[in-house]
Structures are given as C-alpha cells and as structure tokens.
Structure 1
Amino acid sequence: MPMLATATAATLIGVDGHVITVEVHTSSGLPSFTIVGLPDAACREARDRVRAAVLSSGLKWPPGRVTVNLAPSGLRKGGAVLDLAIAVAYLAVTEQLPAASLRDKAFLGELGLDGAVRSVVGVLPLADALRDRAVVVAPEAYHVARAAEPREVYAVGTLAQLADVLSNRVPWPDPPPDPPAPPPVPVPDLSDVVGQPSARRAVEVAAAGGHHLLMLGPPGAGKTMLARRLVGLLPELSRQCAMEATRVQSAAGLPLPAGLATRPILRMPHHTATMAALVGGGSAAIRPGEISLAHRGVLFLDELGEFPPTVLDAMRQPLEEGVVRVSRSSGACSFPARFLLVAAMNPCPCGQAGRPNSCRCSDVARQRYLRRLSGPLLDRFDLRIQVQPPDPDQLLDGIRGEPTAVVAGRVAAARERAASRGVEANVELTGTQLEQFAPLTPAAHAALRERLRGGLLSGRGLHRVRCVALTLCDLAGHEPLIDAERLDEALALRASVGKLHVPAAAA
C-alpha cells in the first residue's frame, strides 16, 4: 500500500487565493487523524467531516495513523475549503482511487457528514489561483468558478460521485444548467429629483470623473435621494474591473450572479460601523471592509458627522492610493479600495443652520460639529456642495428633470474620453498626465497661482480642481483645455461648503 498521496487545493487569505498541496500519509499504529500546517479551528475539524463523509459514501476507512500536511506549512489555512482535497488524497493513499487521477486537478469544497459537496466562501479568487488546473467544485459554485477562466471546471454533488468519476466508472456529470437571468433590479431614476440643478450637476460630474462628493444641507433636502441615484449613472464595469470587484464580493461571502458582477455596487454602512467593518481587518481572519466591498462602485456615508473621526481618517490613505493594507498579528493583506465616496451631513447638530430663526445651535456647537471632519479628509472631497430644500412651487408642480438614461449617456461619453487617456476616470490621472491632456490657459494659470499664494488651495486641491475642470470639458464635449470658465465652475463646486463656516484648516 502506498504511504503518501497528494492533492491540490487553495486557501483564501484576504481576497487572494493561494495554492495548497495536501499531503496525506498513512502508517500503522493506533488509529489517529492529525492535520498539521497551520490549520485554524474549522480546518482542523476536517478530520471528523472527512471521516464521516467517506463512510457515508460507502467507502472504506482502514484503521491506522493518518497525518495530513498542508503545504506550504508557513501559510495559515482557514475554513472548510480543503475538505474535498483531503478526502480524495486519503482515498488515493488507501488505494480506493488511482493516484494518477488526481494529477492536474484541484478540489475546492466542504464536505457534509452525508458526503455532500458544498460550496465555500471565495470560490472566484480560489479558482483564479488554480487557472492551470481543472477545478472540481460543488454544483452551486460552478458558474462562479467558470468566471475565473480556469482550464476546466467540473461540478460534483457528492464524494461518492467524485470517486466513481476518478475511478473511471462513470463520466463527469453534466454541468448545471445556466440559471435564469435575474429580473432587472429597479434603479431609482434621477428624474425623481425635483429642482436642485446645482446638486444634480455635482452628481453628474462625480459620476463622470470619479470625483468624491460631499453634500451638506438640512434634513429632507434630498441628499440621500441624490446619492442613491448616482450609482445608476455609472457605466458597466470593464472585465478587469468586474473581476476585481467580484473577487472582493466573493471573498466576503456576498451573493454573486452567475459570472461577474458587471454593475457598480452601492454600499451604505451605518454610522456605527467599526474601524474593521469600514476599512477591513478582524481578529481570527482578515476580511475586506466596506471600502473594499465598494471597489469600483459607490460608498455612501450618510450622516457623515456621526461617524467616529478616527474611522473617517482611516480612509484618507485608501482614498489616495486605491488600496488598503491591513496588518495584524496573524498576517497582512492588501485589499483593493478604489471607490467613489459620496457623503452627506447636516450643517449643524439640529440640522437647521442657514434657515432664519430655525437653528437652535450655538456657534460653538456648530463649529464643534463641523470639526469632526478633519481638514485632510475634507481636502480629499473634489466636490463639496450645499444642498438646500427645493422650492415649494417646484415640488407642487412636479416638473421632472432629465432622466437617468440621458445623464448616463453623457457620463459614458466622458468615461470613454478618460479611457482614451489610459485611466478608468479622470480622478486617476497623474500630474504629468494632466499637463499632457489638460493644459491651462494663461488666465486659468493666473487664477490658480493667486489661490495657491493665498492659502485657499492645497497642492492636492490644485490637482483635483484641474481633474474636475477636465471632467467638465469632457461632459461638454469640448477640447480638453482648462480655461477660466471651466476653472471657475470647478472651484465653485469645491468651495461651497466653506460658506457654512467650515474651519479654516479645512478650506
């Protein structure tokens, strides 16, 4: 009897799959089953699941000492994803399966006590790490695994069925049928927003250029309504961006479509979200946070002033780099985090600042409330606008504005112009690229110089204002030359919040 057999699988660390070689060794001695190679608690419990599944499948479990090594041994393994690979390697070492049948294949699945093969979290990044092999998964994971484009994907429902296939007693089962297309998700239409021309313009610019947007106004002004409709203006994701976003959603265990998620996602965490929930992390396993789940989509933070300042400031680096690096004692992970941040907040604790004889807050209370947002965080909002309640006559008349489809057409055209510059959106342009693609007229150059010397604009703000001005040119279909008119509009979109007594450090 051979004493050693191997099978290939993968484990999930963050949002990346890592190839694992499962080595199963048998020897004489007191019956035992030991798993080594840094398994976590769920992975160590595979000994009980695998043994029950083998016996329930009508296969044999000879007495003896069984040692399972998960290589590389210095890499932490978690979850039940290695169950299926452990089981087939054990069946090969006990000569119930031909060892050659495991070559060039990888096995991803959890085993039930009855021998059923179940799907696991993170099938997409796991299969993506095994592209050079045929991947065996549970039927419900078949279509997600195919999106990673491995060499081949097979779906099996039970361990007994897999044993029959690998023993050449039966052919591979037919793949599961394609699921019916889900009904289209109703997207709120921008035409529902009555009035608010400046706010609608800011939402369109944010969608076209990927610019972060802060809306400040009293309750009921329509801030949340606008934010919910922004995601409908974004074009479908390219294959690369869809793969990045779907990998994160798969690693987080979110429900996935059959294939890649091609529509940008909208995430709306509550203001009580912790640092780990928003940025990512955790103790037992490092998980992606909301900023990563919103990758290539929209992250909407309502009631921004109620979020803990330390949590908000933790987003400053990911907003610049498009990636978040989380380090824990158990390891370190990098998560993609290139998202469009949209935030809304009241101008003061009571929310009525700016209305005559309505605000009950003192100047000190209002300043303290606004100071919850640090200057460096505010500086990362390219668009900062004041949203006032719509005119009562406009509300009663019900005159609707442009629908989402019309505005989305302009946004798509602007995004195509950005793609011709080698980026997904103008917000990703570097300073060198701006000099090349968006030169300044002498008048615009002089205006920016004056603001910089007066301390009204930071170096980052200068870059972002030019990006916004370029987006305005793209939306208008004009030549990408930043003139005084485009620059004035970009500065107006950035400076509106300053009218509501934002601290000088944040201006």
Structure 2
Amino acid sequence: MPLFCTTSVGLNGIEGELVRVEVDLAQGLPGTTLIGLGDTAVQQAKDRVRAALVNSGETWPSRRITIALSPASLHKRGSAFDLPIAVAVLAAAGAVPLNSVDRGVWLGELGLDGRVQAVRGVLPALLSARASGVKFAIVPMGNLAEASLVSGVTVLGAASLRDVVRYLRGDADILTATGETSQGYCAESPDMADVLGQPEARAALELAAAGGHHVAMVGPPGAGKTMLASRLPGILPPLTTEEALKVTAVHSVAGVLSSNMPLVTMPPFIDPHHTASDVAIIGGGSGVIRPGSISLAHRGVLFLDEAPEFKRKVLDCLRQPMESGEVLIARSTGVARYPARFQLILASNPCACAAARDIDCTCAAGARMRYSGRLSGPLMDRIDIRINLPALDPVSMASAEPGEASAPILERVLQARDRARRRWLGTTWTTNSEVPGSMLRKTWRPSGEGARLLDRAIRTGLLTGRGYDRVLRLSLTAADLAERDVPCMSDIATALGMRSGAAA
C-alpha cells in the first residue's frame, strides 16, 4: 500500500494534540521529504529512521517517500515522532500487516542501531491522547513507568524497533505491558525538629504552610534561613492525585523526572542558583519552550537564597506568575502555557558584608539601602510574610532542646487547610492565598478595633491596597490555625505584624 498513516502526539507546554503521521510512497527518483512544520530534531528524523530500519534487518523502500505531519499548521518539536514514522513507512511498504498498525499512538526516539530511546513529555502526551479517546499506546521502555500512571489506556513498552516489527507481525508477547503502578522511593523531608530556636520564624512558616503564603526572611549568615526553607515542604500537605499528575507532567516535559519515582507525590522544592537567567527561572528557549524553575516548583516551594544577588530582571519576572499561578511564554514559533502556583521563599542578608551584628557592619548607610533595594517594591508588595531572623545565641544553642517536629505541625496545617477548603467550597480556590481581594472583602471585612488598626496602617503608608488584601488573607489563615471561623483582633494583629516585618 503506497499510502499509510499512524498517530502520535505533539506537545505545546503540557497540552497535547494528536498528530497524524502520513507516509506516501510514489514513483520517481528515490528520496525522502518530510513536511509539517517540524523543528530540527523532527527534520533529522528521516535519517535516524532510515538507519534504524536498515540496522534492524528491514529494507528502506527505494521509492519517492513523502512524510507529512498533520495538522500542518501545528509546530512539531522533539524526537518522539521517530517511531510512528518508522511504523508508517513499514506499513506503506507492505512490510507489516496493516490491521496491526492503525490504532493508538506511537511515541519514541530511534537510535541508529534501532533502539527505542526514552523521550520527554510522555505523561502529558498520553493524558492528552486519553482525552481525545485513545485507548492504546506504545512507548519506549524507559518511559513505561511514567506511562503507567495514565489510567484507561493500555500501554506497551518497546526496547527496539526489531521488537516492534515482531509485535506487528503477530508476536504479541514481545513488548512489555505495564504492571502495577509504583511511585518508587520518596526520601523523607528534613524535619523541623532540627531547627534550633527562631520561634517567630517557625510560627511564620506554619502560617505560610497553612495558607500558601509567600515569605521573605532577612537575617545574618547561620541564622537558619536555608534550614527553615528546606523544611517547609515537610509541613505542606501531600499532593492530590490531580496535582501530582500535573506536577509530574511538568517534570516530564523538562526531562527531570526520575525513573525510580515516576509520580511526584510530595511538594517539590526548587532552589536555583543566584546566577540563573530569566529563561532558567521563568522558562522559554530559542527552540523548544521548556518550563522554568517556577513551573518545576508548581504546588511546591521556590527558594531563592541570597535573593538580592539575583538579577533584577529575573526577580521582577516573578511578579505576574505570583498573582496568576501560571506563566505564558510567547516566542516567534508559538506560545506555551505552564502552571506556576508556587510558594516563594526569599532569603537575604541584612547587607552585603553579612555581619552577624549591626555594630560589626562595615557597610555605609547608602550601601545597605542599595543592597536591600535590589528587591523591588512591587515584588516585596506581593510577599505576604516578612520576618527578621536574629543571630543565634551560642549559649542558647548549647542548651536548646529540639524544636517541635514536622509531624504535629503538619497535622495542624492539614486541619487549617481543610477549614479553608470548606470556606471556599464551590469555587476554584482551595487556599486563602489564592482568593481574589474582591471576594475576600465580600466574605469578611474586619470591624471595630481591627478595622481601625488596618485603617491606621493604610493612612501611615504601612499598607498598600494589595497589602491590605494580603493582611486579610493572613488573618483568615491565622483564624484557621486557631480553629476560628472568623478572625479576631489577635489574628489581625498577628497578620499585620507578619506583613510589616515586625514579628521578630
């Protein structure tokens, strides 16, 4: 049969679309043409596929071969189209039975020796295929564990093109079926019991975990900023099934998904170096639009240590995703949308010299202001909790008892989250930090002494309009932790103190 087609999936961000891979064998001078808006990896597929076929013992058709990827207007990226192209060529040449090919989707890169190699984005590709009604797929063996997470789709894993050909010719047992889904080993998060002292910071992190709030910590080296930040995931609720699949899909597209742990079930902790570029943090790229650190931290923690050392452009790029919970990356070749609902934790020293005590600081007053001024006002206005960490006292360190462990803190956080979930039942919000200010003010407004306290903070310039809404969110979270339906005066005072940096 001179014309045949198979089906694959083209990804744009973590959203996929079915792609028909059509192969036509015509009379004329032998040659191969590949059309359909493919990137460099797609254009090179014809050479990889030819070598893989020949080295697998098959014959490359001595015909005029046209390979079309449809829809033609969709940009195709990556090497996952190798396997469907090879299968379509074999079927069009009559080398395999036609009725064994025309079902399901095919994903996989081919090595020159015929090996089927793992590719990025198999999980989101199969989720999109399932949404389009696909019930069957063949993927590389290296992606089989990841593919097994998609229920309702029969998935087989292929190690080589030779095995695929044998399967198509009737050897149904040559490919590997998915077994029971295994989440693999998940290392335990560091425990809050390791943190010495810093009661205000511990309380601030518990408040942040309960409501999904952003935090900025300022303190001298050794005060425990990094230790505290790294323990925040341990007091965050485990991901729901829907959240876990979306987080895993982002990690799959980025190519950082561990084969030993195909499903990400715990909130991720991402801590990029301060030399990272805006593309590394936000996402992008000149060719394939990859997710950045903010998307890898979706439903988890993005920790920026030594925050003033990051480029100003990088920090300011965080402002829009912090509000919307997603990032839209536009390039000349297209637009990709990635989720980015993360908790931002900023850590910085009081000044560039990082003296443990103010009296030991060698920085001029102007230098201290310039250093702290690297964190712009609009960015800091989006930070819910600001705390100052004092240097640890050596005497208290030697005699300090272990702090409260993560387990009881997590239990309180789960109860507070459940209370917030019931409050916002029927909406798309699950935490107080996600709720728009207009809805907050409709649900609850402070009165009496609490209202006067916030009014005075606005008149004196301590709070902006955005800051007012964030204090309301913090007040609700404080009330949730205290098992109150409506915040009281102490909740409002706690929220205002955390917001203004007067908690320590």
CA offsets 1:242-291 (integer angstroms, 9 cap, x no match) = 12111110000012355421100000001111010111111122111111
Alpha-carbon distance between aligned partners in 2 of 1:78 and 1:150, rounded to the nearest angstrom: 26
Alpha-carbon distance between aligned partners in 1 of 2:296 and 2:213, rounded to the nearest angstrom: 18
Aligned residue for 1:505? none
**2:222–2:392 CA contact under 8 A, matched in 1:** no
Which of 210, 218, 221 does residue 219 from structure 1 map onto? 221
Alpha-carbon distance between aligned partners in 1 of 2:108 and 2:322, rounded to the nearest angstrom: 36
SS at match of 2:232: helix
Aligned residue for 1:502? none
- Distance of aligned partners of 1:236 and 1:330 in 2 relative to their CA distance in 1, 3 Å threshold: same
Alpha-carbon distance between aligned partners in 1 of 2:183 and 2:363, rounded to the nearest angstrom: 52
Aligned residue for 1:446? 452
Aligned residue for 1:16? 15
Residue 458 in 1 paired to residue 464 in 2? yes
Aligned residue for 1:173? 175
**1:128–1:150 CA contact under 8 A, matched in 2:** no
- Distance of aligned partners of 1:310 and 1:497 in 2 relative to their CA distance in 1, 3 Å threshold: farther
Q: Which deviates more, 441-450 or 126-135?
A: 441-450
**1:15–1:288 CA contact under 8 A, matched in 2:** no
Compute the displacement of 1:439 (Å). Answer: 4.3
Which of 328, 338, 343 does residue 340 from structure 1 map onto? 343
Which of 416, 430, 445 does residue 424 from structure 1 map onto? 430
Q: Which deviates more, 296-305 or 119-128?
A: 119-128
Alpha-carbon distance between aligned partners in 2 of 1:150 and 1:483, rounded to the nearest angstrom: 49
- Percent identity of paired positions between Structure 1 and Structure 2: 43
Compute the displacement of 1:97 (Å). Answer: 1.9
- Mark the runs of 5 or more structure 1 residues left unpaired by the alignment: 500-507
Compute the displacement of 1:184 (Å). Answer: 4.1
Alpha-carbon distance between aligned partners in 2 of 1:282 and 1:356, rounded to the nearest angstrom: 43
Any runs of at least 4 consecutive aligned residues in structure 1 with deviations exceeding 3 A, and if so which?
Answer: 169-174, 176-184, 256-259, 435-439
Q: Which deviates more, 430-439 or 335-344?
A: 430-439
Compute the displacement of 1:96 (Å). Answer: 1.3
Q: Which deviates more, 454-463 or 255-264?
A: 255-264
TM-score, normalised to structure 2, is 0.94
**1:154–1:172 CA contact under 8 A, matched in 2:** no
**1:469–1:482 CA contact under 8 A, matched in 2:** yes
SS at match of 1:129: helix
Compute the displacement of 1:378 (Å). Answer: 0.5
Alpha-carbon distance between aligned partners in 1 of 2:319 and 2:232, rounded to the nearest angstrom: 22
Residue 321 in 1 paired to residue 320 in 2? no
- Mark the runs of 5 or more structure 2 residues left unpaired by the alignment: none
Alpha-carbon distance between aligned partners in 2 of 1:335 and 1:182, rounded to the nearest angstrom: 26
Compute the displacement of 1:200 (Å). Answer: 0.5
CA offsets 1:155-199 (integer angstroms, 9 cap, x no match) = 122222222222334446342555876444132111111111001
**1:441–1:483 CA contact under 8 A, matched in 2:** no
CA offsets 1:455-496 (integer angstroms, 9 cap, x no match) = 321111111111111111111112x21222110110111112
Residue 238 in 1 paired to residue 240 in 2? yes
SS at match of 1:357: helix
SS at match of 2:227: helix
SS at match of 1:33: strand
CA offsets 1:364-398 (integer angstroms, 9 cap, x no match) = 11111111111110000000000011232220113
Q: Which deviates more, 454-463 or 94-103?
A: 94-103
Aligned residue for 2:272? 269
Aligned residue for 2:296? 293
Alpha-carbon distance between aligned partners in 1 of 2:36 and 2:386, rounded to the nearest angstrom: 52
Alpha-carbon distance between aligned partners in 2 of 1:419 and 1:55, rounded to the nearest angstrom: 59
TM-score, normalised to structure 1, is 0.94
**2:321–2:340 CA contact under 8 A, matched in 1:** yes
| Cα RMSD (Å) | 1.9
**1:139–1:176 CA contact under 8 A, matched in 2:** no
| TM alignment of 1:271-420, pairs within 5 A | 271-352=274-355, 355-420=357-422
CA offsets 1:312-367 (integer angstroms, 9 cap, x no match) = 011101000001111111211111110000010011111227x2530101111111
Compute the displacement of 1:432 (Å). Answer: 4.6
Aligned residue for 2:157? 155
Compute the displacement of 1:307 (Å). Answer: 0.7
Alpha-carbon distance between aligned partners in 2 of 1:432 and 1:414, rounded to the nearest angstrom: 22
Alpha-carbon distance between aligned partners in 2 of 1:303 and 1:356, rounded to the nearest angstrom: 18
Alpha-carbon distance between aligned partners in 1 of 2:229 and 2:267, rounded to the nearest angstrom: 14
Alpha-carbon distance between aligned partners in 2 of 1:357 and 1:61, rounded to the nearest angstrom: 78
Number of aligned residue pairs: 496
- Distance of aligned partners of 1:75 and 1:472 in 2 relative to their CA distance in 1, 3 Å threshold: same
Aligned residue for 1:469? 475
**2:139–2:158 CA contact under 8 A, matched in 1:** yes
**1:295–1:339 CA contact under 8 A, matched in 2:** yes
Compute the displacement of 1:498 (Å). Answer: 11
Alpha-carbon distance between aligned partners in 1 of 2:365 and 2:371, rounded to the nearest angstrom: 10
**1:216–1:497 CA contact under 8 A, matched in 2:** no
Aligned residue for 1:139? 141
Compute the displacement of 1:413 (Å). Answer: 1.1
Alpha-carbon distance between aligned partners in 2 of 1:147 and 1:96, rounded to the nearest angstrom: 33
Alpha-carbon distance between aligned partners in 1 of 2:296 and 2:341, rounded to the nearest angstrom: 10
SS at match of 1:264: coil
SS at match of 1:472: helix
Residue 487 in 1 paired to residue 492 in 2? yes
CA offsets 1:408-428 (integer angstroms, 9 cap, x no match) = 111111111222224332101
- Distance of aligned partners of 1:380 and 1:181 in 2 relative to their CA distance in 1, 3 Å threshold: closer
Amino acid in the other structure paired with 1:483: C
Residue 119 in 1 paired to residue 121 in 2? no
Alpha-carbon distance between aligned partners in 1 of 2:269 and 2:289, rounded to the nearest angstrom: 22
CA offsets 1:8-66 (integer angstroms, 9 cap, x no match) = 00122223222211010111222111111111121111112111221222222231111
- Distance of aligned partners of 1:430 and 1:179 in 2 relative to their CA distance in 1, 3 Å threshold: closer
Alpha-carbon distance between aligned partners in 2 of 1:492 and 1:464, rounded to the nearest angstrom: 12
SS at match of 2:359: coil
Alpha-carbon distance between aligned partners in 2 of 1:173 and 1:86, rounded to the nearest angstrom: 19
